[in-house]
Structure 1
């Protein structure tokens, strides 16, 4: 994934528990100046979320990297928590979890 070719936008939070996360309440650059915590999302040309970073005081506290099947359904989610622990989840072409 080449993030330099992706559009990045900032958000207050996310909604729901299903992956990929749904980022909500988009922030403008000026809105981030007084916030300590926010989310940065990287989107491809089809506006699919490829990466989600939770930023706390400028440091990445939580990281989600997403990959998609050709039909647009999530195929893999790599989640790195605040302790650096990586969890990889895989999904079939219908979005059902694999093993």
Structure 2
């Protein structure tokens, strides 16, 4: 686990759920990364919320999500960058529903 300008960084095998923000699951230790072709590098803010993640495939970022939250903890915005570096921005109301 390390701390970056984006927050605390931890690594995971995959994610669960279909609603944003995704939930990263099956945490990996730093010593387990060398044998993995694909994994997720998650960033967590001071409140422990997922502020974003990168999906790494053979060392290259294939997908990135960045999240910001309303003061009540509900998702405010998701910025998703795909493998072609296309950015999709999704906004959410204070109940966490798509705006």
TM-score with structure 2 length normalisation? Answer: 0.93
TM-score with structure 1 length normalisation? Answer: 0.93
The aligned residue for residue 48 of structure 1 is: 49
Higher strand share: 2
Q: Take 1:72 and 1:41, find their aligned partners in 2: how far apart are those partners?
A: 18
Structure 2, unmatched stretches of 5+, are: none
Structure 1, unmatched stretches of 5+, are: none
Q: Deviation above 2 Å: which 4+ runs of structure 1?
A: none
SS of residue in 1 equivalent to 2:68: strand
The aligned residue for residue 76 of structure 1 is: 77
Task: Report Cα offsets for 1:14-61 as digits up to 9, x if no partner.
Answer: 001110010000000111110010000000111111111000111110
Q: Paired residues, what number?
A: 96
